[in-house]
Every structure is written in structure tokens, then in C-alpha cells.
Chain A
Amino acid sequence: MQKTVIDAHNLSKIYDEKTIPVYALNKVHLHISRGEFTAIKGPSGSGKTTLLNMIGGLDIPSEGFVEINGTNITKLKGNELIDFRLNNIGFVFQSYNLIPVLTTKENIEFIMLLQKRSKKETDQRVSELLKQIGLEDKINKRPRELSGGQQQRVAVARALAPKPQFILADEPTANLDSVSAENLLDMMLQLNQEENMTFVFSTHDQRVINRARRVITLEDGKIVADTAPTTIIHEQLLE
């Protein structure tokens, strides 16, 4: 059995607590083990991004807590929390979010440099990742010189570079055409299988959902389903 990486206990996020409380998340329990390829789906406003932000230590829950590899990150503050994110969590955002003034290589090595890893280790890891994402010929290109799909691949490589505990991807295919989206998903699935890397996505994209081995459905801040995609496809066919 794989070790639990993410453990969310009774997680709630309440806005306007003093007037009319709005539950962005409502008592969510979630356990994700190493090597999972999990998609969190749900309509807009269901709490997908809020859940991802809580798991990623970007937002503070109103109730409950999140443990990453046994560390309660809800208790971490300031630089302690930033350091934890730096060393344990990889982020991929919807709009790529590469650093525009850095090249492909520099973007990929950025987090490792923040971690003050040795140059030798950084260079080795970067060339390994460039090969995996198939952008060895774009090493000195700046983000504006890459296509959306290529940028998102670099963003995945940047998140993977320091070998984090898991990768959180917030709608990673939302801005991509179907070919680029398929390529990106194939690449992430391959990395998941080869490196046993844990991926957690928030998504609307059926292509992501189809490839996920676990799909969590959120509605009004609550988990309403937690199942394998084959079951969902079957349910959809029945409907």
C-alpha cells in the first residue's frame, strides 16, 4: 500500500463568517497517496481551486487542517510555509505562469536555484527534464517564443525539477488546444508512471478526467463523489 502524501481533515473555508456565511469548502476529508493521478472536478464555484489552495498551503482553512507527509501545514507561517512549499509542492497554473524574462532552461532550474542546489545537480536534472518534455531544442527560448502547449510543458518541468512530494495543477489544460492538451496529459501520465510522481488536478476537462485514475467531484464545497473515471463514463452512458 502506498504512503499517504496529502491528508485533509474536516476542511472548511467560510467567507463572510459574521454576516451571511458562504461555504467555499464544507467539512472536506481527503486522503491522497503517493503515485496517485487524481482529478478534482466540479462546476465553477464548487470549491476546486479553494481545495487546491488549501492543500498547497496558499490559503488558510477556516476549520480543519492539512497534513503533508505528516506535517500539519496549517500551523506553518511566513517563511516556514514558503520553504515548505518550495521543498515539497510543485505548482502548475492555468495560465502557465513562467517567468517571462527567463529562458526555458532558467525557468526549469529556477526552483532548484531557490533551494540552493548545486550547479551540477541542477544542470543534470534540467537536461533530464528537457529530454522528457521534448524541448531540448528550445533551451534558450523565452516564454513568448514558445507555444501555449510548450509553455505548459516547461511549467510542468519547473514543478517537477526539485522532485516535490506532489504536483498541484489548477486547470492545466484550460488554455490549450486539444493536441497540446493531449500531449501534455500524456507527458504527465508518463512522469507519473516513471517517477511515481503524485499529481492532483482541478479540472473541467473531460480529457483529464478520462486519464485520471481517481476522480473527486465537488459540489457546493462538498465532496459528492470519489471514484474511478471508468465508473463515471459508465454512469454518463447510463444517463
Chain B
Amino acid sequence: MILKLIWRNLWRNSRRTLITMASIAFAVLFAVLMKSFQNGVFNNLIKNVVGYYSGYIQIHQKGYWDEQVLDNSFELQNALILQLQQNTQIKKIAPRLETFVLVSKGNSTKGCLLVGTDAVKENNLTQLKKKIIKGSYFENNEENVLLAEGLAKRLGANTNDTIVLFGQGFHGAMAAGKYKIKGIVHLASPSMNDTFVYLPLTATQYFLSAENRLTSISFGIDAPENTNAIVQNLKTQIGNKYEIMPWQEMMPEIANHIKADGFSFYIFSGILYIIIGFGLFGTVLMMTAERKYEFGMLIAIGMKKSELELILFGETILITLFGVLLGFVLSLPLVIYLKEKPIRFGGEIAKVYEQFGFEALFPTAVDKNIFINQSLIVLAMAVIIGLYPLWHVNSLNPVEAMKK
């Protein structure tokens, strides 16, 4: 009987019920979309910068991160390789020797980051081969470079052109060399796309007079959420000699930006939910006020207040549940669609984003936790609002309620 009353009461004023459900559904839709976009954009940023370059974890010689010079590079020891191979959580490794040098083509000279890397391992970690937009990928025994697209444009360079690299090698040695451009790569991160030059590791070590030396080893892991646990594990294993850093420490600006933007999401979704909360409260208030006489009558003829409270609470929760479900039904296909076909801005907007180091691409993230969290927030709100009719009925005097 109670369930029947809850259900039928819900449809007494079907227009109002539907409007309330729709407002809850749109709140869930907007909140889910907002959070999915935010997570999607950040996942893309992390993928572009972390997943496609730095790796989630890096090992350096102690002190390298504070003073990134070749003198703080380290010699690759077999013992270290063995220890890293024993760690089952580490799936991919890319040894690198990096330094800033000057790159020249014709009359044009630019500063760039020279990345000396193992061609095969780099491709395993960052899928560098896939980013070739012109020419072909290099091999370990070659002395050819891959130039980032932005840098190539700035230099006016093309494949098969020759560039000159000039800089300082290990222990202050002079470093200079001529290399053929074998391929042009497009890197998603605009700042990387404007500055990167890849050269096979052995050729780089020779160019910088740093045989068998590395500045970093980058790791790819299958479960990025375990990054901190793996870092702790590695610190216990090899932490005495090396510094082991998660990407959040290496790129605090990105980590902080994600944190700050997460906070702004809470403010916006908070405002959204307050508005929807007032809407729901308005409905509950009307439902309670216009049925005061009926409540008085029900208590008079013998319905316990607790039974009446259960009916009213059930109505609030049911309206909310339907609203949340409708919100899911509307948001799920939209989120999936926008993940597959993300929004990409072009023109001036894209340039503005690129200035801030972002790719102007807005994919969504499909994460069940987003849906669960948003529905829990709305349900918690409904529970709080649902307490009002309970309080109203609890303090109801049937004689007063039935006075017209």
C-alpha cells in the first residue's frame, strides 16, 4: 500500500514531477559532462606530456633535477638494469641523454632540446614512430635526426636537409655535428613541438662525449594510478644513489593546474547543485504545503506519522532517482560520443590554448566513478531535502492541519 501511494502521489501533478525530474537530469548531465571534459582534457594533457614523453616515472643521478646539466648524468650500470627488470610493474623503459643545444639550418639558429634515445625503446614508450608526419623513423645505428614539426617550421627545414647541432658536451667538451633530417614528428604538446630534436642514443653520447652515460631513464607503467606506490617501491630498491621522481614532481605546474581546476569544478558543480537543490526543495515544499489537510486526515484516521513520513521520503527519493537515471541515459551516450569524436578548436582559439601549453582538443573521459559520484551527490542532496517533509509531518497536529 505504501509503495502504491508513493508511486501514485508522484504522478498527482505529473507536470511538476516531470519538470523536477528533468531539472535533476540536466544537473546530472551538466555535472557529468563538466567532470568528463575536465578529466578527458587532463588525461589528454598527461598522455601528451607524460605518457608521450617524460614517462610516469624517471630515474636520474641524485641532484640532476635541480641542476640539469650533463655533469649530473650517470653511467648505465648492468646492476641497475637487472634491478629494474625485476620490477614487474614497470612495463617499458627508455634510456635518454638530454641537453639543450643550438640547432642551425642555413642562416637560422634556434635553441632546442636534444633528446638522445634508443629508437626501439623510445617507440615502445611514446609511440614516436606514429608521430612521424614526413619522412621516416630513425634507427639506432644511424646518425640522423627527427625534428619536431614546430621547430622544423621555425628553421625552414625539411626532410633530407642537413642541420648543425652545437653545444656543450660532458665535462665542458665542445659538441658540434652535422645531421640529416630523416623525419618530421608532430608532438601534441605545443612547447615540445617547438623545441625537440631526437637523435639515436649512441650518436648522442658520441656527440656529447658522454659514452654510456644517461641523464634519465623513463618508465611506462600500465596502471598510472599506482605511480606513487611504484616510486616508493623503487626508492627502497635503488633510492640511495638515484633520484626517483613521479611525473607530478617533475611537472608540478601540470599537477597543480589539475588540482586548481579540480577545485574550480567543485565550485561550479556546487553552484549548479545549489540551484537544483532549491528547485527540488521548492517541489517538496509545494508537495508538503498543498497536502497539509490530507496529512491531517491520514493521521486522524489512523495512519502513523512514521508511515506518512516514509511515503513522503520515498516520493522525494524516487523523483531524484528517476532524475538521476534520466541524467545517466542522456549523458552516457554523449560522453562516449565526445570521447570518440572530441571537440577540436581551430584558429585563434587553438593558438590561445597552445600559448598555455595545451592542445586545443577536448575529449571526454568515460569513467564510471564520475557517474557514481555525481549520482551520490544528488542522492545525498535529496536525502537532506527529504528531511523537510519528515520534520513537517512530525510536528503536525491533525486538528490544526484540517482547519481550512
Interface positions of A (Cβ within 8 A of B)? 53, 56, 58-59, 79, 82-83, 85-87, 91, 93, 95, 97, 99-102, 106, 110-111, 113-115, 158-159
Interface SS of chain B: helix
Q: A102-B8, A110-B1, A113-B1 are in contact. Are A59 and B399 (CB under 8 A)?
A: yes
**A115 to B, closest residue via Cβ:** B302
B192-200, B253-261, B293-301: which lies at the A interface?
A: B293-301
Query: Which among A82, A87, A111, A115 has the highest number of chain B CB atoms within 10 Å?
Result: A82
- Do B294 and A99 touch (CB < 8 A)? yes
Interchain Cβ contacts under 8 Å between A and B, 13 examples:
A83-B304, A85-B301, A91-B300, A93-B297, A99-B294, A99-B298, A101-B5, A101-B8, A101-B12, A106-B4, A110-B1, A115-B302, A158-B301
Q: A97-B294, A101-B8, A101-B9 are in contact. Are A86 and B302 (CB under 8 A)?
A: yes
**Docked CA distance A56–B296 (Å):** 13
Residue B177 lies at the interface, judged by CB distance under 8 Å to chain A: no
Q: Does B398 touch A at the CB level, under 8 Å?
A: yes
Report yes or no: B303 in contact with A53, Cβ–Cβ below 8 A: no
Inter-subunit contact B294/A82 (CB<8 Å) = no
Q: Determine which of A79, A83, A106, A111 lies in contact with B301 in the assembled complex, contact meaning CB atoms within 8 Å.
A: A111
Q: What's the nearest-Cβ distance from chain A to residue B291, in Å?
A: 9
- Report if B334 contacts A (CB, 8 A): no
Q: A82–B397 Cα gap in the complex (Å)?
A: 12
A97/B302 in contact, CB under 8 A: no
Cβ of B305 and Cβ of A82 under 8 Å apart? yes
Given contacts A58-B398, A93-B402, contact A83 B302 (CB under 8 A): yes
CB under 8 Å from chain A, chain B span 1-23 = 1, 4-5, 8-9, 11-12
B302→A53 contact, CB < 8 A = no
Q: What's the Cα separation between A99 and B297 when bound, in Å?
A: 9
Where the two chains meet, the residues of B that have a C-beta atom closer than 8 Å to any C-beta of A are 1, 4-5, 8-9, 11-12, 293-294, 297-307, 398-399, 402, 404
Given that A93-B402, A100-B12 are contacting pairs, would A79 and B304 also be in contact in the complex, using a CB cutoff of 8 Å?
Answer: yes
The interface residues of chain B lying within 8 Å CB-to-CB of A79 are: 304-306
Instruction: Point out the residues of chain A lying under 8 angstroms from B297, CB to CB.
Output: 91, 93, 97
Q: How far is the CB of A163 from chain B (nearest CB, A)?
A: 14
- Whether the pair A85, B300 counts as a contact (CB closer than 8 A) is yes
Q: Which residues of B contact A82 (CB under 8 A)?
A: 299, 302-305
Taking each of A95, A106, A114, A159, which has the highest tally of chain B beta carbons within 10 Å of its own beta carbon?
A114
Contact indicator B300/A56 (Cβ below 8 Å) = yes
Residues of A within 8 A of B1 (CB): 110, 113-114
Give the distance to chain A from B309, nearest Cβ to Cβ, in Å. Answer: 12
| List of B residues within 8 angstroms of A97 by Cβ | 293-294, 297
With both chains docked as a complex, state the minimum distance between the C-beta of B115 and any C-beta of chain A, in angstroms.
72
CA distance A87 to B302 in the complex (A): 8
Q: A82-B303, A101-B5, A159-B301 are in contact. List 9 more A-B contacts (CB 8 A).
A: A79-B305, A85-B300, A91-B297, A91-B300, A95-B404, A99-B5, A99-B294, A100-B294, A102-B4
- Which has the most chain A C-beta neighbours within 10 Å: B1, B8, B11, B302? B302
Residue in A58, A99, A102, A158 whose beta carbon sits within 8 Å of that of B300 in the complex: A58
State whether A114 touches B302 (Cβ < 8 A): yes
Q: Which residue of A lies closest to B293 (CB)?
A: A97
Closest Cβ neighbor of B12 among chain A residues = A101
- Give every chain B residue within 8 A of A86 (Cβ-Cβ): 301-303
CA distance A86 to B305 in the complex (A): 13
Residues of A within 8 A of B5 (CB): 99, 101-102
Query: Which of chain A's residues have a CB closer than 8 A to the CB of B12?
Result: 100-101
Chain A residues, CB < 8 A from B4: 102, 106
Q: How far is the CB of A187 from chain B (nearest CB, A)?
A: 19
- Closest B residue by C-beta to A78: B305
Q: How far is the CA of A110 from the CA of B298 in the complex (A)?
A: 10
Closest to A94 in B: B404
Enumerate chain B residues within 8 angstroms of A91, measured Cβ to Cβ: 297, 300-301
Contact A85 B302 (CB under 8 A): yes
A85 to B398: give the CA distance in the assembly, Å: 12
Residue on A nearest B306 in the bound complex, by CB? A79
Q: Is the CB of B304 within 8 A of A111?
A: no
